[in-house]
Structure 1
Amino acid sequence: MSQATAVIAPAKNAFPSPYEQPAPAGAEGWRDLYAYNLVFQENRREAEEAKFWFCDSQHWPTVTKPFETIGFEFAVGCLGQYNSRQLLIPTANGIEYRIHNGYVFMSPVAVDPADIEARVPQFMERAGHYFQNWESLLANWHTKLKATIDELESIEFTALPDAIALEDVLAGKGTGPATELLADYDRLIALAYRAWQYHFEFLNLGYVAYLDLFMFCKQVFPRIPDQAIATMVQGVDMELFRPDDELKNLAKIAVRDGLVPHFADTSDAAVLLAAIAADPAGGAWTQAWQGAQDPWFNFTTGNGFYAHDEYWRDVPETPLAFIKGYIERLQNGADIDRHVDELVAERDRITGEYAELLDGDALDTFRGKLGLARTVYPYVENHNFHIEHWTMGVFWRKARQLSAVLHAQGFWPRANDMFYLRRDEVREALFDYVNAWMVGAPAIGPDYWPDEVERRRGIVDALSTARPQPALNTPPAVITEPFTLMLWGITDDQIQNWLGKGDAPEGTLKGMAASPGIAEGPARVISSADQLSDVQDGEILVAPVTAPSWGPIFGKIRATVTDIGGMMSHAAIVCREYGMPAVTGTGTASTEIRTGQMLRVDGNSGTVTVLD
């Protein structure tokens, strides 16, 4: 099945069972690539088919290779820990996850209604402490995370030497570099796990505070649109936008100092940077470029969950191409700045209008909930830079370094082939290398892993030829789990659309009204960051999902349409902060719309209309 083939049969009451959905041709045996607890087991069929599973293509839009499962295992596991074990959120436990045909599916775990009341006072005590001490605890969070990143940076994977260093022998050290190599791998995994613990220490509280405001507003303003509530917290100074701001600043310096000719060709970063450094007028630009590298260029064009994600610091041609784009826009007289003051003015206008409808205790309660939501809201996006981008950028850099070491020893054909192994298998291969070095005999891995990696590569490639189902099994009568609604946009209406039972007229797609405004223009359908350079001025971006690092193209496009995502998804938040219409959670826009088709995107009603 090709990527462009729609996979949903019309007018059904349920989605396919994972037990009845075959793998694409050539992907037979795919279950062997993943740990036993990550796939649907035959002897658990009754229990697994009783649950509703949705595909989290918002965070994992492509096939996940065996090593890359570390992303959702750590992330979703830690999310659950903070819901159900640390904060004891009354109405939300964790989320189960499985791999099916290479894609990640999730099923929220319900809280027993009998337990909700008992969890309320425990949640209030635990969450209340964080809300009351937000700034000091967040400052401590930054200290903890930076120490974790520094420790990750300190890890260096190199080939084992011919002999242990003489100074270690004479000093009576007693251990060799093989011990340290194994320990460093264990440390690499443990540090990533620690970072994901930190990730959710504040994130769920950010959602809780916003949801609390959301539910209160729905109660006292029964007809208030969801977007009006979202507008009340917009216009914040987010660190997630800082990398893009650095690019804009570098473009302005290049124009100011007459460096524009150097950007005629950005395909060779070393040549371009050397030319600017040698230019008598290039000093200020070079200093700004170097100052932006750490931390702001620890930024990926993906989302941080895949080993193939490219980071600006590692591939400088990417930010240089974005800078070139900004230079061209500046020369054409365009305004490239994001005007936060306008967002703040709109925020204050909306908030003031609704506040005028309240008085007494209700007004005090509204102001209190709004103040808390605005305090914690920035973390909902800022954590992305610190964890998915910065921390995971270092993690993947070190993992690729280890993969290259074992590649040089003949363990696999290509430098980054380690990611076709599970993390437990990597440690087995590493011990094989270490043990062979210690005893002075050839390792077994070079005679085992190359063929196995090629087999797995073929399976992953085959899995990548088919789009996943949006969901599995029979959906519940009503979706009530708040995170599922707000983050992923999995609503009752959306499920009906996926089943082919929506009431949208022909030529119209329905989704989440994620960012207000109406725009018309030609569609540009892309599926990955590799296609960002294809985006032209005035187009409407249509994608399975967007990444925060796609900010540099937001000055070109008129609107955004995604397959998945709710009001608090990254795409929705970023579009609101850029003042751009967006419809998220359409389900199938990226497969039903073709590049070049004229669209009308109504971010007020959540509809996308194909005009031709």
Structure 2
Amino acid sequence: MTSHMKFPSPYELKAPKGAEGWEELYPYYLLFNDKIRAKEEGKFWFCDSQHWPSPFKPFDTITVEFAVKCLGQYNTRHYLIPPANGVDYRIHNGYCYMSPLAVAPENIAARVPQFMDRAGHYFQNWGPLLDNWMKKVRANIADMEAIHFETLPEVVPVEWVKEGLGLDNTYFMMESYDRAIQLLYKTWQYHFEFLNLGYAAYLDFFGFLKEQFPTIPDQAIAKMVQGVEVDLFRPDDELKKLSKLAVKLGVADALKTGSADEALARVATVAGGKEWLDAWKAAQDPWFNFTSGNGFYSTDKYWIEHLDIPLGYIRDYIGKLEKGETIDRPTEKIAAERDRITAEYAELLSDELRPVFEGKLGLARAVFPYVENHNFYIEHWSMSVFWRKMRELSAILHAQGFFENADDMFFLNRQEVRDALFDYGNAWAVGGEPIGPVYWPEVIAKRKAILASLATQPPQPALNNPPEVITEPFTIMLWGITSESIARWLDGGSDKSKLTGMAASPGIAEGRARVIRSADELDLIQEGEILVAPVTAPSWAPVFGKIRATVTDIGGMMSHAAIVCREYGLPAVTGTGNASSTIKNGQMLRVDGATGEVRIIG
């Protein structure tokens, strides 16, 4: 790596015009602080546009704060993962930057016995502990569902007065808000209880194979754990089932017309319609608590609230079925490839090493499904309920004149929401007027303008001096950030017709590029195109039946995009750095998912 080349310092990187003063949108501890400039400039920061591809509204920072804090605690304080502590994170110009914290080499050995004891207990009792996790997460979702917000009444209910309750409605409103935030905090604590161990077991298996076979491709190792049935694919599988049922019952034509409401009303009037509608209803709980985003933003659209999204996918599938095409995932082919490659490498090992290989492989396969599964229960289902409850609260404050729009509450941070609630309750209690309606609209208008300006400029991929070599395994696995990818970002590539990234899912495909910046543009994708995006969400799987390959800016071998593409048998190149801003819509591409090369061929 050329040492003289570096990324800009956050202290020198100005805000886009019109976004000055953006710092006031975020808490002090998420900003680069002048008093510790030398220290902060001494660290390498990369932009996590994989999880947070657009600038944060003030309330939405709750997702990065809870997620990254909880990720860190499991590495650092629960399991003592020997080489890795947590990840430091800051917001700059509206985007999230991360800097992984390694354990000092001299402290690694002391952590090993504690890690073996704590993590070992999980690995040995994975099944029962995971069953327990599922119970906890479902109970947590039920607790969140039970929260309700209501407009304050004219008077405290007379029964409360006569039974001597001694409390008013604002008490319960404040309590419900605080409880919702705490339940979300619990959600993210649970999220990482198993996740880092899932990666750790895979990394252990990965490291073992690299030691035995230094030239083994990363992809070959990933293939040995693929072909797992996971709940993350269930929403898409449910849509496929419903599509087949529609064709079988003869209700396909009725489903094809007008809006979701119109189509469903029409189905109700035809023969077989009731049976199909019952199945449609049954699939929704819980599988339609699924977003086409990733759950991290208050603006994410969930299927359950936007039935036109799943219905659109069903219409696509019906079209394929009527042409006699198959819509199922190539699960048998993927499992056969997994078994073939596993046997091939097992055979090359000595008799002493083969049982070690079997043991590590067995563990990696046992824990791996969680790496995808948690995503449905946390990012999709839990977050779906949380955002729904927060919108309910926002609508109440909007009706009281606090904001111009029903969902403007998300332009306040979570502490300010508490203040606004107290303001509302306070005025109600004393019989006066709240101050919010004259205070917040102006503040929100200013913040909207700042956020609109921040969104005009794509984030810098990284900040400060890159390290000589990246060794932190999570950074490589999850984000696809390696010494090579950093060199490519800095250099910008001399050959403009060629991009390189991680060889994430094998196969070669040619087709026209379709550049997608957000989930809202998914319906633009045409049959046979190649999807190019900053990052894809696992929930984009229903469009994988249309496209020939996927190319992303960020993401490693274990990013959701890479895993989902492998399970769907689609070629993928991830972590190219800048494909979505280099490639233009309609350009002809050739994608080689085995070498990680993307060529613009016309």
Alignment of 1:103-502 (within 5 A): 103-267=95-259, 269-500=260-491, 502=493
The SS at the match of 2:353 is: helix
Report what 1:54 is aligned to. Answer: 46
Residue type of the partner of 2:332? D
Structure 2 counterpart of 1:431, which letter? F
The corresponding residue for 1:571 is 561
AA matched with 1:609 = R
Q: CA deviation at 1:257?
A: 1.1
For residues 306-345 of structure 1, the C-alpha deviation after alignment (integer angstroms, 9 at most, x for no partner) is 0000000011111011111111111111110012111111
TM-score calculated relative to the size of structure 2 = 0.99
CA deviation after TM superposition for structure 1 residue 266, in Å: 4.5
CA drift at 1:272: 2.0
**Structure 2 alignment gaps of length 5 or more:** none
Match of 2:530 in 1: 540
User: Which amino acid is the alignment partner of residue 153 of structure 1?
Assistant: E
Instruction: Give the counterpart of 1:14 among 1, 6, 10.
Output: 6
SS in 2 for 1:224: coil
2:33 paired residue number: 41
Corresponding residue for residue 92 of structure 2 = 100
Contiguous gaps of at least 5 residues in structure 1: 1-9
Write the distance in 2 (CA, Å) between the matches of 1:266 and 1:118. Answer: 65
Letter of the 1:191 partner, please give it. Answer: L
**Partner-residue secondary structure (3-state), 2:348:** coil
- Alpha-carbon distance, 1:170 to partner: 1.2
Report if the CA contact (8 A) 2:255-2:267 is conserved.
Answer: no
Alignment RMSD (CA, Å): 1.1
Per the TM alignment, residue 12 of structure 1 is displaced from its structure 2 partner at its CA by 6.6
Q: Deviation at 1:396?
A: 0.3
Please list the CA deviations of residues 154-204 of structure 1 after superposition, one character each: whole Å capped at 9, or x if unmatched: 011111001011111111111111100000000010000001000000000
Q: Secondary structure at the match of 1:94?
A: strand
Please give the alpha-carbon distance, in whole angstroms, between the structure 2 residues aligned to 1:339 and 1:488: 26
Q: Distance in 2 between matches of 1:110 and 1:523?
A: 39
Distance 1:441 1:271 in 2: 46
Quick one: which amino acid aligns to residue 62 of structure 1? S
Determine if contact 2:589/2:601 at 8 Å carries over to the other structure: yes
Q: Distance in 2 between matches of 1:168 and 1:177?
A: 10
- Rounded Cα–Cα distance in structure 2 between residues aligned with 1:58 and 1:352: 34
Task: Specify which of 588, 591, 602 is matched with residue 601 of structure 1.
Answer: 591
Residues 572, 584 of structure 1: 8 Å contact kept: yes
- Name the structure 1 match of 2:601: 611
Q: In the alignment, does 2:582 pair up with 1:586? A: no
In structure 2, what is the equivalent of residue 3 of structure 1?
A: none
Deviations 1:262-287 (A, max 9, x none): 223342x2222222223231122111
Deviation at 1:595, TM superposition (A): 0.9
Show the counterpart of 1:530: 520
* Whole-Å separation in 1 of the counterparts to 2:597 and 2:69: 34
Alpha-carbon distance in structure 1 between the residues aligned to 2:389 and 2:219: 41
Runs of 4+ residues deviating >4 angstroms: none
**Contact kept in structure 2, 1:253 and 1:284, CA below 8 Å:** no
**TM-score calculated relative to the size of structure 1:** 0.97
User: Residue 93 of structure 1 aligns to which amino acid in structure 2?
Assistant: N
Q: Which amino acid aligns with 1:337?
A: D
In structure 2, give the amino acid aligned to 1:464: A
Q: In the TM superposition, what are the counterparts of 1:498-517 in structure 2 within 5 Å?
A: 498-500=489-491, 502=493, 505-517=495-507
Contact 1:266 1:321 in 2 (8 A): no
1:24 equivalent among 16, 20, 27: 16
CA distance in 1, matches of 2:269, 2:84: 58
Contact 2:251 2:271 in 1 (8 A): no
